[in-house]
Structure 1
Amino acid sequence: MNGFRDLNSGKKTKNQIMKYKRGSTVEVFCNQSWRCARIVSSKGHNYTVSYDVYPGFTSKDDVEHISVKSVRRCPPLFESSECWVPGDVAEVFHNLSWKMAIVLKDIGLDQFIVRLVGSSQEFEVTKSELRVRRSYQNGQWIVTGKVPSDHKEANSPKLFDAGPSVEERAILYLEAQDRVTKGASLKWL
């Protein structure tokens, strides 16, 4: 069991390191974003992963050796029948990875203007390119962004509380991700 600080409460908690088998689909934290990958092999506290390749971006395999600290299971699917609203903190699929963003404007027809957190870059995305932010803590997925009232988790009637304000969540998220990339004891699974 390894100790780390809970992003929502700041309290020290315990969590087990999850082991993944060859072929498991995971997300890898790199460059302030989560990217989908498959486990190719493992050796000690490292994995070799193969990132998903998308048509038009590259035709060659993208393989990397990474620390177990940078790997987590893929979040469960999240269903939504309501539009996102300005001020919501979400993850946006941009340049082959999921990055934290703030919804700035609903421009209709399931299109939104978002801004990447920590950047002045704004761009248009579709509803399908947005997802609720979550972290995996103590064996559960915890929602860490504002969730519109009618979001429903696939196969589950229960939702988690959205927690702190938008600004507090953004600060907590970025501080935690900095600790992960610097090798601190925080574990994202």
Structure 2
Amino acid sequence: MTKQLLTERYRINNQNLALRKQFVLLTEAEIAVLKRLAGWGQAQAGPMAKEFYDHQFAFSGTAGFFEAYARQKGMAIESMRQHLEKMQAQYFRQIFEEATGSGEFGVDFFEKRLFVGKLHNVINLPLKWYIGSYALYQRLVRKHLRRSFWLRPGFRTKAEEAIFTVFNYDIQAVSDAFFYDYLESVGLELAAVQIE
């Protein structure tokens, strides 16, 4: 039996994703900027993931969560951190790979992000920590863009806008997954939820 995709289960398709992209202004212009940043994104993904988890493991709320989760899984905390950094770097690279690939940010891209949201809900990471992490991620993006494009402030601004727009799109996917997973857990039939 084939496992149902989350996009199918939540009735997310290219048509309603087009509305989301239109609303958050994820246009061809932003995708063109992301394409130009592809090499930069590949190079910065690893260092940014390290800095991202430096903060996560220094903050008591998230550090405590990851330590408890590592114990539950019988995993050394350093091994868990290495895995988390690898996955975080992979996520950042996927933004630019999507732009240089199909450039659609459609159902296939959104499916991956829904899966991440559902996974974080299953492992019981508080949504406040997941969404709150984007404030840090935006700071890191600004910092790394400033270092790389300090003589090009106009391009840097366009780059920030493009990346942060995809971050917002990602937050929508993760929030949808958390929310729909919660609705199912309290017995609501997802088919009863109206989708635009």
TM-score relative to the length of structure 1: 0.27
Relative contact order higher in (CA < 8 Å, ≥ 6 apart): 2
| Structure with higher helix content | 2
Give the strand-richer structure, 1 or 2: 1
Higher alpha-carbon Rg? 2
- TM-score normalised by structure 2 residue count: 0.26
